[in-house]
Structure 1
Amino acid sequence: MRLRLFADYFQIHILDELSEGDVAEGWTEKALADRMVAFRDILGFRTEVDVDVQVDVNPLSGPPPLDMAPYDHIVEASVEIPSGRMVVMGCSDYLPDAPRVEVNPGWVRIRVQKSNLANAVMADLESDESPETIERITVDVWPEEPSGVRVLKQWNP
């Protein structure tokens, strides 16, 4: 599923549709460097721009092969999606209207892979106006026992 989401406050959120969680208090210096904060049923990941970004969401049956070459930053964490309906949204989007992705109910691992970051940062507020400058994010999701945030590839602008 390809989405174009407004990354208000430099954030995209992934959560169970019944979650009442909030990631606001989780943005420590480490979380900002990792570009991710995760609690039981909600996860937030940081974008490099606060305009529209392209987000491709791929529900999978198991962990995908890890190919770091096409990406600038890769980070993953676990969240619980007990309803089986995972919401993907900008942090200021209206929850009832936000896109849903069907997943197996329970714990899932979410790998966020970000690319085209230097071009997006350079274009800044105009980065969403062109395919050459938009921040691109691939989100792979699969069932897995819970574990913490793990940075697999760190981007340092």
Structure 2
Amino acid sequence: MIKRYSIFADYHQFYLWDHGASPDAPTGYTEEDTVRRIKTGPFVVVVQPERNMDVPVDFEITDAPPDLDLDAWDHVAEASLDLPSGRLEIHECTGGSVDVLAVSAGTYRVRTYHGGLGTLSEDGLDGDDHYRIVLWPAPVADLAVLKQYVDPRTVS
């Protein structure tokens, strides 16, 4: 089942974390972290949308990895997330909790899909960017960018 959210991505980020651990979100960012559009810390994955406004996010929990349709998306990345409490919290950066979802306790893979990244206005406030997140049980693996977005406006 796909759940749809409008998430305020203040500072271009929102979090997926273990509700029981209530972790601190990572604060030190490198240029590489920003380009990847995803960052991890203990019990947390930071998703980094293009806009720091309300963004549409489709969220799905599955039993296995979804088909990898790279052509339909501008950027795709994956990271591991440990959820020992069995409660996944979607949390805004400066807002609060968006939702808490019950899952089986364990380790998961989080795949983030970013679309419409080239549709943003010059001031970055408006656009048709949209996001999809899929979570499934999986062993711990390194963070991976499966498709890297390069903004054509920044290429010289």
TM-score (norm 2): 0.89
Task: Call closer, same or farther: CA 1:2–1:19 in 2, change over 3 Å.
Answer: same
More helix per residue: 1
Structure 1 residues 57-66 or 23-32, which shifts more? 23-32
**Match of 2:91?**
89
CA distance in 2 between partners of 1:27 and 1:21 (Å): 17
* 1:115-153, Cα deviation, whole Å (9 max, x unpaired): 01111354622x2xxxxx332110000000011210000
**Match of 1:29?**
31
**Match of 2:145?**
151
CA distance in 2 between partners of 1:20 and 1:90 (Å): 13
RMSD: 1.5
Q: Structure 2: which 5+ runs fail to align?
A: 152-156
CA distance in 2 between partners of 1:26 and 1:66 (Å): 30
Correspondences of 1:100-115 after superposition (within 5 Å):
100-115=100-115
Would you identify which runs of 4 or more consecutive aligned residues in structure 1 move more than 6 Å?
A: none
Between Structure 1 and Structure 2, how many residues are aligned?
149
Correspondences of 1:36-47 after superposition (within 5 Å):
36-47=38-49
CA distance in 1 between partners of 2:96 and 2:73 (Å): 29
Q: Structure 1: which 5+ runs fail to align?
A: 128-132
**Match of 2:154?**
none
Correspondences of 1:54-133 after superposition (within 5 Å):
54-95=56-97, 98-122=98-122, 124-125=124-125, 127=126, 133=127
* 1:38-87, Cα deviation, whole Å (9 max, x unpaired): 12300102111100101111000011111101100000000101111111
Q: Does the 8 Å contact 1:49/1:121 carry over to 2? A: no
Q: Does the 8 Å contact 2:26/2:41 carry over to 1? A: no
Identity of aligned residues (%): 29
CA distance in 2 between partners of 1:86 and 1:119 (Å): 31
Q: Does the 8 Å contact 2:21/2:85 carry over to 1? A: no
